[in-house]
A = this chain, B = another copy of it.
Amino acid sequence: MNLRQLSEVLGLSQTTVSRALNGYPEVSEKTRVRVREAAERHNYRPSLRATSLATGRTMMIGHVIPLSAREEMVNIIFTDFLAGAGEIYAQNGYAMRLSVVSDADEVEIYEDMKANGVVDGVLLHAPSENDQRIPLLDSLKLPFLVHGRATGTETPYSWLDVNNRRAIQRATEHLLELGHRRIALLNGLESYDFAIRRRSGYLGALEAAWIAADTSLMRSNEMTEPFGYKAGGEMLDQPNPPTAFIASSFVMALGVRRAIEERGLIMGRDVSVVCFDDDISYLPNGSDKPIFTALKSSVRAAGRRCAELLIAKINDEMPEEQHEQWEAELVIGPSTGPAPSES
């Protein structure tokens, strides 16, 4: 049943039926009720295809996953972030459009989305330093919101981000206060802006404590369990091993723990570990008591908020670019303790 058929059944014009259903005032309350009832009775649902051609809106929000970033992004971020965003989208009548795309096509896909008119807005993930997608989206006049930030970008844009620098700085300070001097950083890929900021927080705290950074204690890679295990193990096997680790993700910290335990050491006594915890629903940092000392910030909540901001932007309810910076919460767990005295 389409609009024409419904209007014929009712003996009304398509205009009136359309207006009645969409709540326009040029329709008497009596007919509106009559139309609503008929629509209900005949199970009429407007074709979104036609509506979007007529209105230019698709009620879809685009998320692009570049193939190269699959390992890191799809999993860590897309998992809970999308669940959060999806909730808000649903509440507002939107749906998500995910497209996996090879890196070479990454610029073109945004032009396509604009020209094709398949989405009303775009959520940008995991920006790098000086991310080219931002000026591109801006020039395309496609509403977008960035989850994270891109240092060095001159185009103004709206974003929501965790204060990554401050978070890791606090993690480092916490370890310094416990007397640690050899603190390792297992970071995410430093092509991403968040990882750059985290390193900067780490280096800042060390510098403030007059400790020279040791490059043998700094590694950066995809945030997987095996990388945490491997890099952590190698550092522990060094002649002058670290007494503490900062891991950029919970999953990496699991790997570090495995390396520690495999060497007969005890986490929290012999070696301390702090991690950044995105508060992943099915991999929580302990349900009752935490496993790791961590800087915690819910990526699902971020997804929700990003969705809200983007929808506001699409609806032109955002007069100027908005920025939201969240502070991560320091949760003390059993994985950190005083630095072992030198022996």
A53 part of interface (Cβ distance < 8 Å):
yes
Which residue of the partner chain B has the closest CB to A116? B48
Closest to A83 in B: B74
Interface centre among A101, A224, A225 (most CB of B within 10 A): A225
Residues of A247-292 whose CB lies within 8 A of B: 251, 254, 258, 261, 280-284, 286-287, 291
Q: How many angstroms from the CA of A2 to the CA of B222 in the assembled complex? A: 43
Contact A224 B282 (CB under 8 A): yes
A331 within 8 A of B: no
Q: Is A86 on the interface with B (CB-CB < 8 A)? A: yes
- Give A111 to B44 CA distance when docked, in angstroms: 11
Bound state CA distance, A251 and B65, in angstroms?
25
CB-CB under 8 A from A56, the residues of chain B are 49
A76 at the interface (CB under 8 A from B): yes
Does A35 have its Cβ within 8 Å of any Cβ on chain B?
no
- A74 near B79 (CB under 8 angstroms)? yes
Q: A90's contact among B100, B117, B282, by CB below 8 Å, is which? A: B100
Query: How many chain copies?
Result: 2
Is B115 a contact of A47 with CB atoms below 8 Å? yes
**B residues near A49, Cβ cutoff 8 Å:** 49, 52-53, 56, 58, 116-118
CB-based contact A116/B46 at 8 Å = yes
A206 interface hit (Cβ, 8 Å): no
- What's the Cα separation between A99 and B93 when bound, in Å? 10
Select one of B60, B90, B101, B282 contacting A101, CB under 8 A.
B90
Interface residue A226 (Cβ < 8 Å from any Cβ of B): yes
CA distance in complex: A287, B233 (Å): 14
A47 to B56, CA, bound (A): 10
A308 at the interface (CB under 8 A from B): no
Closest-by-CB residue of B relative to A286 is B226
Contact partners of A286 in chain B: CB under 8 A: 226
The proximity string for A residues 65-76 relative to B, scoring 1 for CB distances below 8 Å and 0 otherwise, is 101001110111
User: Could you list 16 examples of A-B contacts with CB < 8 Å?
Assistant: A49-B52, A49-B58, A49-B118, A50-B53, A60-B97, A74-B82, A75-B83, A75-B281, A83-B100, A89-B100, A95-B97, A98-B98, A225-B283, A225-B284, A251-B283, A258-B291
Q: Which 10 A-B pairs rank lowest in CB-CB distance, beginning with the nearest?
A: A86-B100, A45-B115, A226-B287, A48-B116, A96-B98, A75-B282, A74-B83, A95-B99, A49-B53, A224-B282
